[in-house]
Amino acid sequence: MRVLLIEDNRQLAAAILQGIEAAGFSADALTTGAEGLAALEAMPYDAAVLDLGLPDMDGLAVLRQARKAGTTLPMLILTARDGVGDRVAGLDGGADDYLLKPFAMEELVARLRALLRRPGQPLSQELRCGNLLFDSLSRQAAVAGGAVTLSKREGEVLEQLMRRAGHVVRKTVLEESLYGFDDQGSRNSVEALLSRLRRKLIAGGADARIVTIRGVGYMLTEPAV
């Protein structure tokens, strides 16, 4: 799962990135509202963490513009403003949750996870395809109860494929999910990663298969009944 962080305090942003990446999320960090709005249009994020005190525009304006543009992903506000009116304004503006500074990193991670598994969201914690299981919170994969050891990026790709099992996932979508603005990866990195993941699943006895749709992308096929 990929998270967008919009926070102008670079020291705090670095700490947040470290915390949420350690929890298994991929993340990009930006420092202005304009950059954040552009990123939300360009990249397929699963959630956003938004500071209200941005240098170019108020975070509430970012929130409202994002919602007006059709962004439906969960958005969590970070702020030092502790007034009830500020909290109400944020929630009324389209925020899904509100966290006051200072905060514990464990709480931020817990709130992100809670947002991503709320009823009505397309995301669920436990994914299954045949005898293959992936837990999106623990980032653990298993085949018929036996653990399959995956790298962080292998787990990210497997999650993307399992959430869309039976449907083609375009290569560009996987690239955007795996690599942020500062880490574009090589042209063949997705192919190499898919090859390693495919071998691990076969070796582990998975009955689901990763199929390459040439010139388009990849699909996880469920076992024939």
pLDDT (tens digit per residue) in 144-162: 889 999 998 898 889 888 8
Q: What is the mean pLDDT of residues 1-22?
A: 92
The pLDDT of residue 122 is 45
Note the Cα 100 to chain centre separation in Å. 22
Strand order of the β-sheet with 169-170 is: 169-170, 217-221, 209-213
Across-strand partners of 142?
133, 147
The pairing of strands 47-51 and 75-79 is: parallel
How sure is the predictor about 121, in pLDDT bands with cuts at 50, 70 and 90?
Answer: very low
pTM of the predicted structure, to 2 decimals: 0.60
Helix axes 33-42, 59-68, angle to 10 degrees: 20
How sure is the predictor about 120, in pLDDT bands with cuts at 50, 70 and 90?
Answer: very low
In angstroms, the CA 16 to CA 18 distance is 5
Q: What is the mean pLDDT of residues 111-123?
A: 67
The pLDDT of residue 36 is 95
Residue 38 backbone zone (phi > 0: left; psi -120 to 50: alpha; other: beta): alpha
- pLDDT (tens digit per residue) in 49-72: 999 889 999 889 999 999 989 888
The pLDDT of residue 189 is 84
Cα radius of gyration rounded to whole Å, the chain: 18
Q: What is the mean pLDDT of residues 83-108?
A: 80
The pairing of strands 126-129 and 132-135 is: antiparallel
In the predicted structure, residue 170 carries a pLDDT above the cut 90: no
Q: What letter would DSSP give residue 43?
A: S
Identity of the amino acid at 167: H
The pLDDT of residue 184 is 54
Q: What is the mean pLDDT of residues 187-195?
A: 83
Domains, the chain, in order of start with CATH, read: 2-116 (3.40.50.2300), 126-221 (1.10.10.10)
The pLDDT of residue 164 is 80
Q: What is the mean pLDDT of residues 196-222?
A: 92
